[in-house]
Each structure stands twice: as structure tokens, then as C-alpha cells.
């Protein structure tokens, strides 16, 4: 998870969303951010000033592991989705290759998890990222943190491997921006 010495700093795409702007859901059926997923995380991700983002996730009863506490896998998903959204700031299609999570404090149901993530380095197709989730406010104590390696892929990654019925439905969407973002298309 340590970037090689020749790795470069991430470059913000000139057409990336402005700092403070909500990225919006990239795909309505995404478990991380989609509005059509009743039990999804409904993450709202906001662009930062560099290649960084912030997001909020409210833990609901459907996200429990132990009684009254968030499931660790769900928290990992929130971190994964937040870091994955960094690709949009570079206009790069990326998928998670490797994800490591530290669970530092239990996260009760009803908690708002304040997430922040940034790209630490880019090395060819490899995008190194880091994220934290805090409770009690954006400056509150760290409850979870993660590092992840994302790999740049082409749109064929999705069209070749995704189930045909969802691929066809996403491609038939008359909204061009939504259609592109469902596959995180690199313009
Ligand atoms: C608003 C919009 C936002 C959009 C918001 C989007 C949000 C999405 C958030 C969720 C993101 C996900 O969950 S994505 C879904 C979960 N992930 C997946 O399904 C990925 C499944 N895995 C794969 O398809 C594949 O393994 C790939 C694509 C990751 C890599 O395969 P490949 O394309 O053949 O590449 P490959 O040559 O193997 O690897 C390229 C380089 O990466 C390294 N590499 C590859 N995998 C790993 C690995 N696990 N750990 C370490 N290193 C790795 C290789 O060593 C190599 O380094 P070197 O030799 O070049 O040095």
C-alpha cells in the first residue's frame, strides 16, 4: 500500500466539480450512493479543493451488525465508496483492487459518519487513496480509517463483466450524463 518512489501526485481534472459541489450519485442502483437502493448507504459526496472529497453517511437500523452498532463491512463499504468517488475528480474510471480498514471505535446506529478521502499518489494505472470516518462531527474522533488501491480500467470492464439486463438499462438511459457516470466514463 506504499506508493513506489516514482509515483506522481494526483492531478485534478480541469472539469472536475468545483470545491464544495455535491458529486451526486453515479448510478441510482449503487449500494453506496444510489437513491433507488432502499437499504443502501445513500452517501452524499462533496468535492474538496484538491483531489479530495468529504461525505456523510447516517447509520440506519438496516446497517447493524451487533445490536445497535454498525456492521464493519458496511463501514468498509462507506469508505470504499468515498475513496472510489475520487476517480470522478480526475475523470478516471477506477475500481477497488485492495482495501484495508482499521476499526477504531464502535459506531452506533443513528450516528452520522463524517468521511474524508484523498488520493495520496498515482503510479500508472494505480491510484493510492486514504480515508477516515469521524463521529460526533467532522473534527470528531476517528472511528474508522482505510487505505485502498484503485486500478484504472476502461468502460469495457463493466460492459464485458456486468449482467446484461442492467448494462442495457443503463445504456438506454436518455440522460447522457447519468449514462456516462453509471460507467464512470472517462471523457
Ligand atoms: C461520481 C462518480 C464516482 C464514481 C464512484 C464510484 C464508486 C465506486 C466505489 C466502489 C468501488 C468498488 O467497489 S469497485 C468493485 C470492486 N472491485 C472489483 O470488482 C475489481 C475486481 N478486480 C478486477 O477486475 C481486476 O483484478 C483489476 C481490474 C482490479 C486489475 O486487473 P487488470 O486490469 O488485469 O490489471 P493488472 O495488470 O492485474 O494490475 C494492474 C496493476 O495493479 C496492480 N494490482 C492489481 N490488483 C491489485 C491488488 N489487489 N493489490 C495490489 N496490486 C494490485 C498490479 O500488480 C499491477 O501493478 P503494476 O504491475 O502495474 O505495478
Q: pTM of the predicted model, to two decimals? A: 0.95
**Which of 95, 148, 150, 157 has the most ligand 1 atoms within 8 A of CB, as the residue to mutate?**
95
Shortest CA distance to 63 belongs to which of 110, 105, 27? 110
The complex's ipTM works out to 0.94
Nearest-atom index, ligand 1, CA of 151: 29
Task: Establish if 150 belongs to a structural domain.
Answer: no
Nearest-atom index, ligand 1, CA of 23: 1
CA-to-CA distance for 171 and 182, rounded, in angstroms? 9
Task: Establish if 26 belongs to a structural domain.
Answer: yes
Q: What is the pLDDT of residue 179?
A: 74
Beta-bridge partner residues of 153: none
Task: Establish if 3 belongs to a structural domain.
Answer: no
Task: Establish if 68 belongs to a structural domain.
Answer: yes
Domain that holds residue 39: 19-51+60-93+104-109+163-187
CA-to-CA distance for 2 and 149, rounded, in angstroms? 10
Output the CA 25–ligand 1 centroid distance in Å.
21
Cell of 186: 472517462
Cell of 1: 500500500
| Any atom of ligand 1 within 6 Å of the Cβ of 184 | yes
Tell me the catalytic residues: 80
| Any atom of ligand 1 within 6 Å of the Cβ of 146 | no
* pLDDT by 10s per residue, the chain, length 187: 899 999 999 999 999 999 999 999 989 999 999 999 999 999 999 999 999 999 999 999 999 999 999 999 999 999 999 999 999 999 999 999 999 999 999 999 999 999 999 999 999 999 999 999 999 999 999 999 999 999 999 989 999 999 999 999 988 887 766 777 777 654 4
Output the CA 59–ligand 1 centroid distance in Å.
28
Task: Establish if 151 belongs to a structural domain.
Answer: no
Task: Establish if 127 belongs to a structural domain.
Answer: no
The domain total for the chain is: 1
Nearest-atom index, ligand 1, CA of 25: 1
Task: Establish if 86 belongs to a structural domain.
Answer: yes
Please state, rounded to an integer, the average pLDDT across all residues of the chain: 94
Amino acid at each position: 500500500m506504499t506508493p513506489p518512489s516514482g509515483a506522481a501526485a494526483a492531478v485534478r481534472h480541469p472539469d472536475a466539480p468545483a470545491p464544495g459541489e455535491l458529486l451526486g450519485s453515479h448510478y441510482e442502483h449503487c449500494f453506496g450512493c444510489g437513491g433507488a437502493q432502499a437499504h443502501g448507504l445513500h452517501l452524499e459526496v462533496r468535492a474538496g479543493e484538491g483531489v479530495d472529497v468529504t461525505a456523510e453517511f447516517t447509520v440506519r437500523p438496516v446497517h447493524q451488525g451487533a445490536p445497535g452498532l454498525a456492521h464493519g463491512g458496511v463501514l468498509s463499504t462507506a469508505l470504499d465508496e468515498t475513496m472510489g468517488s475520487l476517480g470522478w475528480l480526475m475523470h478516471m474510471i477506477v475500481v477497488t483492487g485492495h482495501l484495508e480498514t482499521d476499526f477504531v471505535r464502535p459506531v452506533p446506529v443513528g450516528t452520522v459518519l463524517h468521511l474524508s478521502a484523498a488520493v495520496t499518489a498515482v503510479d500508472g494505472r494505480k491510484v493510492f487513496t486514504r480515508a477516515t470516518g469521524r463521529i460526533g462531527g467532522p473534527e470528531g474522533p476517528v472511528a474508522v480509517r482505510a487505505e485502498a488501491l484503485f486500478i484504472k480500467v476502461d468502460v469495457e470492464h463493466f460492459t464485458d463483466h456486468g449482467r446484461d439486463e442492467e448494462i442495457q438499462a443503463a445504456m438506454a438511459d436518455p440522460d447522457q450524463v447519468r449514462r456516462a457516470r453509471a460507467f464512470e466514463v472517462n471523457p
